[in-house]
Amino acid sequence: MDLQEYCRRKENELIDRGGKMMKPIAKYTLNLEQRRAIVQWIKKLKLRDGYASNLAWCVDMKEAKLYGMKSHDSHMFMERLVPIAFSTLPDDVFNPIVELKHLPVYHAYEAKVGGLIQFRWMYPFERFLYTLKRKVKNKARVEASICEAYIVEETAMFCSHYFEPSMPPRITRPLRNDDGGESNLPAISIFNYPGRPFRECKARFLNDEEVEAAKRYVLMNCDKVQPYMMLFVQTLKKDNCRITENEIESQINERFPSWFKNHVSMIAFNFVSSNRNYLP
């Protein structure tokens, strides 16, 4: 009842209709059809392997709700999907939802106190605890059930080494994204990941922005290129001793592909020039 006194948002004040106080519908409230459109988008969403669980299993199309999400899925949903799903909302509604003011301060303090996230990330342990829970068959003897299941699993794994070649054990089972075929893997590590496309393949031309993004992805994720990237960073720091980490990252995204191409071309040219006298 004191919302009118302490809040300056007139549209959220209670309305008196014949002695009965009615609460107006907020602008950020979605109707059933709008909620179904969002959960339908989430159901059809394709994420890379290991990034999150299958969110399609968490969608209830009838009620237009999400249920059964793990803590990691909820975290990923808030940081990655919410800004995309609600980007069509008006700015005065969208900004308060996704721009949480305490997060920059909180994340900086958390990184300072806790260090790198990979040393304190609980998601792998949560998945492992889920594996242990599946081994429990006698809830009156939880620890004994886990130990017994572990012994059976280790025994079966040991015996599987003596199976016939026609009975491949689990330890040599192909990865779930491997199509099972044999291929000559290239020497560059970034192209060694096995996999197969989903559904029908379609060919199309990439635009200039997509080509540049593909170049940056290959260069930044290839082990053989990392020494050249370190050399590029050292060059930036030598030219500007006051350059910040954000500026270095921006320069890597903008200039490193072209710098790497010119640098490798120069190395090849010098090699050919120095060995020209030895050519037959």
In the chain, % of residues over pLDDT 90: 6
pLDDT in tens, 247-280: 888 898 888 988 998 988 888 878 767 766 554 5
Q: pTM here?
A: 0.43
Q: State yes or no: pLDDT of 209 exceeds 80.
A: yes
Supply the pLDDT for residue 276: 61
Calculate mean pLDDT across residues 13-29.
Answer: 78
pLDDT: which is higher, 174 or 48: 48
**Closest of 69, 35, 28, 27 to residue 52, by C-alpha:** 69
Question: Residue 113's pLDDT band (boundaries 50, 70, 90)?
Answer: confident
Question: Residue 167's pLDDT band (boundaries 50, 70, 90)?
Answer: confident
CA distances from 97 to 29, 59, 89 (A): 12, 21, 10
**Closest of 127, 135, 172, 177 to residue 153, by C-alpha:** 135
**Closest of 50, 66, 47 to residue 58, by C-alpha:** 66
